[in-house]
Structure 1
Amino acid sequence: MKLKIAFCLSLLWAEFAFGLEEDSAQPVYIEANSAYYDKKIDQSTYTGNVVLVQGSLHLQADKLVAYSPGGKVEKVVAYGNPVRFRQQPKPGAEEIRGQSKQAEYYMEKKYIVLIGEAVVWQGKNEYTSDRIEYDQINDIVKAGEASSDAKRVKIILHPKTESSPPPKKQ
């Protein structure tokens, strides 16, 4: 059963993680009520109704911190009540939506971590856990915590029906 759950999660995340191929080549737009940059530690902090847009990726947070040692963004951490995001995974596919209390993205490692009441939706399918991690390079998804007091991982997968429109050809 665990293998089946991991497989189902990997199908969702394989689409989610990369978004549209051209997204990573698009400029990043950030709006916030305030911005602060500390050159000594190469860290930018944006607070108050933060909105980040890059291609089809839209993220909303209360606070966003970008860590840029040497001027290159290494890690971005978003905080919110909750952090919300949406992204088009590929042309013709249903949009991925999600939320969590904290979201971390490690640029070089292509590693995403959703922490605290994490939920990811695609269409009617829903994935819930206190922590969801995705290693894009190795295509590994990990949901839940190892501790016995952690909340259980919950997954709702709806079958594709005959009335579902076929995927659009590229």
Structure 2
Amino acid sequence: MIGTFAAGRLRAGFGFVPTLALIAAVGAAGPVPALAQQQQGTSVQMSGLKQDPDEPVEVTSDALSVDQNAGLATFTGNVIVVQGTMRMTAPKAVVTYMRGPDGKPISQIDRIDATDGVTLTTPTEAAEGREAVYRPETGEIVMTTDVLLTQGPNSVAGQRLTVDVDTGTGLMSGGRVRSVFQSQPSGQGGGGN
């Protein structure tokens, strides 16, 4: 099943059509991530996540189930979400809609939960984790459980990655955070005889 939806402030085009606006991927300005140790985790520059929230979102899945009364849209089986240069894949994604003053679901997304192994990518970075939650109103994506962020040849791992899509910054935390940095060739020596 394929659907293309306007992401804007997440208005449904007709009736209660699931409007999926997932801004999820990981990016950086250069090949080496800008990292700075903080007391609560490792700060990561992720400028590839900074996207226009008005770009359309295309969702492809094997099946879609909508529960209008509960305000839920469940995408299952090979879920692929694309917005701009960002891409998210997962076996399952559940969209929960906000409720209006009358208690009924409205077409504005409260949260998107992707589960069972999630991968977020841009052309130059990738992040993996067991789960991801995106809240469009706050512009926050939280990936949890065995999270690995790769930026070029460098990587950062932890149990929780919190990303602010408005600023393109993130924080890796949870347990011990591990970073691996590959040195850049110095251009000297050339390696020949």
Which TM-score applies when normalising by structure 2? 0.65
Partner Cα separation in structure 1 for residue 58 and residue 129 of structure 2: 21
Aligned to 1:17: 49
Alignment of 1:34-45 (within 5 A): 34-45=63-74
Query: Is the Cα–Cα contact under 8 Å of residues 46 and 65 in structure 1 kept in the other structure?
Result: yes
Aligned counterpart, 1:77: 113
TM-score (norm 1): 0.73
Query: What are the superposed Cα offsets for residues 78-102 of structure 1, whole Å, 9 maximum, x if unpaired?
Result: 112x2112124xxxxxx12111000
Query: What is the aligned counterpart of 1:123 among 137, 152, 174?
Result: 152
Q: Is the 8 A contact 2:43 2:171 kept in 1?
A: no
Decide whether the 8 Å contact of 1:76 with 1:105 is kept in 2: yes
| Whole-angstrom distance in 1 between the partners of 2:80 and 2:70 | 23
Q: Residue 100 of structure 1 aligns with which residue?
A: 129
**3-state SS, counterpart of residue 73 of structure 1:** strand
Separation in structure 1 between the aligned mates of residue 44 and residue 155 of structure 2, nearest angstrom = 13
Task: State whether residues 131 and 144 of structure 1, in contact with CA within 8 Å, keep that contact through their aligned partners in structure 2.
Answer: yes
| Distance in structure 1 (CA, Å) of the matches to 2:66 and 2:83 | 20
Which residue in 1 is equivalent to 2:84?
55
Unaligned runs of 5+ in 1: 89-94, 164-170
- Quickly say closer, same or farther: Cα 1:143–1:106, change in 2 above 3 A: same
* Contact kept? 1:120, 1:126, Cα under 8 Å: yes
Q: Is the Cα contact below 8 Å between 2:161 and 2:172 reproduced in 1? A: yes
Question: C-alpha distance in 1, partners of 2:165/2:69?
Answer: 31
Aligned length: 145
Matched, 1:110 2:143: no
**What residue identity is the alignment partner of 2:111?**
K
Shift in CA distance, 162/9, structure 1 to aligned 2, threshold 3 Å: farther
Find the aligned partners of 1:122 and 1:128 in 2 and give their Cα distance.
Answer: 11
- 8 Å CA contact 1:10–1:139 kept in 2: the answer is no
Which structure's residues are more often helix, by fraction? 1
Distance 1:74 1:34, change over 3 A: same
Please tell me whether Structure 1 or Structure 2 has the larger radius of gyration of its CA atoms. Answer: 2
Q: Which of 50, 56, 60 is the matching residue for 1:27?
A: 56
C-alpha distance in structure 2 between counterparts of 1:139 and 1:51, whole Å: 22
Q: Partner residue of 2:20?
A: none
Structure 2 gap ranges (5+):
1-34, 99-105, 188-193
Structure 1 residues 162, 153: closer, same or farther in 2, change over 3 A?
A: same
Q: Does the alignment pair 1:46 with 2:75?
A: yes
State the SS of the aligned residue for 1:25.
Answer: coil
